[in-house]
Amino acid sequence: MQILIWGLITIVGAYVLYVLFFYLLQRRMLFPVHELPTHNAELITQAGGEIIRLPFSQGEFELAYLPPLSEAYGDKSPVIMLAHGNGNIIDDWAPRLDFVRQQGFSVILAEYPGYGRSDGKPSYRTIKECMLKAYDWIEQQPQFDHEHISLLGRSMGGGAVLSILSQKKPYAVILMSTYSSVMDLAKQRWVPHFLVRDPFDNVSALKNYEGRAYLVHGEADKTVPINALSKLLAAKQDAEHQIYSTGHADTPDDWDDFWVKVAEIIKPKTAV
């Protein structure tokens, strides 16, 4: 009996230490700023982009504005605002967006606090604040078609763009390998949901959204398991979606086809 009791105490103690470890380090795991690639602003400027710094509660954060590469929509271009995954920075994406720009779309890359050259520290609150300010900036610019602002979020970026749906009504939302909520990710790791500091409840955020949506996911994704897609589709039953045979980092397996579909989703209905 004593062996059983001590065994139980050991198991409980190990679990408590495990949960304490998660609670103390959860933001380091969710926002791995210590592992980010070296920032390189030239990737943005070489792509024909412009870096803009906007104030927020912890200093300034950055946007990269990449203008359209064609005049398909005249002097007011539709916009896609992109939020990257937690292991990237906006510089990484600037050279990869020529296709949608050639279709006449402007692209805004919104950086997170503490990432790249942005001030502050990342959290649900500060990321949402910066996403809202980025969207506000778009709405203030005369060169954009304010009725056709679309959002694209990859992995954690899905939570970033969905965080503003209660206050903004984008034309379309594109989600790539996006989790249902950080609480669900914690549950899968045997961590109580009430210990999650940055919940990013994407299911609830998507539930009342009435615009177009396109969701892609890899069925071999171990970082964000495929069941997250099922929960998001249950919340947004009219969403289009695509399942790949890939994992987390290599979804989609054909970027050219992906961008063609994205351009189709975000294209204004009045366009020929």
| Residues 144 and 137: beta-carbon distance below 8 Å | no
Which runs of E-coded beta strand occur in 30-177? Answer: 50-56, 59-66, 77-83, 106-110, 144-154, 172-176
Confidence band, pLDDT 50/70/90 cuts, at residue 11 = low
Specify the pLDDT at position 26: 76
pLDDT surpasses 60 at 272: no
Which runs of E-coded beta strand occur in the chain? Answer: 50-56, 59-66, 77-83, 106-110, 144-154, 172-176, 212-218, 240-244
The Cα 243–Cα 246 span in angstroms is 9
The Cα 15–Cα 167 span in angstroms is 39
pLDDT surpasses 60 at 121: yes
The Cα 250–Cα 159 span in angstroms is 19
Specify the pLDDT at position 194: 76
How confident is the model over 193-241, as pLDDT tens digits? 777 788 899 999 999 899 999 999 999 999 999 999 999 999 999 999 9
For the whole prediction, is pTM greater than 0.85? yes
The Cα 196–Cα 188 span in angstroms is 13
First-to-final CA distance of the chain: 78
| Residues 84 and 131: beta-carbon distance below 8 Å | no
The Cα 155–Cα 179 span in angstroms is 7
How confident is the model over 155-185, as pLDDT tens digits? 999 999 999 999 999 999 999 999 999 878 7
Is beta strand 172-176 parallel, antiparallel or unpaired with respect to 144-154? parallel
Specify the pLDDT at position 15: 63
Domain range list for the chain: 31-266
Q: Which residue is listed with tokens 């939302």?
A: 173
Which of 19-23, 43-47, 114-118, 257-261 has the least mean pLDDT?
19-23
The Cα 103–Cα 143 span in angstroms is 16
How confident is the model over 49-84, as pLDDT tens digits? 999 999 999 999 999 999 999 999 999 999 999 999
Tell me which of 3.90.1150.110, 3.40.50.2300, 3.40.50.10280, 3.40.50.1820 is the CATH number of domain 31-266. Answer: 3.40.50.1820
The Cα 54–Cα 81 span in angstroms is 15
| Residues 183 and 199: beta-carbon distance below 8 Å | yes
The alpha carbon of residue 235 and the mean position of all alpha carbons in its chain are separated, in whole angstroms, by 18
The Cα 230–Cα 224 span in angstroms is 12
130 token code pair: 């910066």
Could you tell me the strand order of the sheet in which 212-218 lies? 50-56, 59-66, 106-110, 77-83, 144-154, 172-176, 212-218, 240-244
Confidence band, pLDDT 50/70/90 cuts, at residue 48 = very high
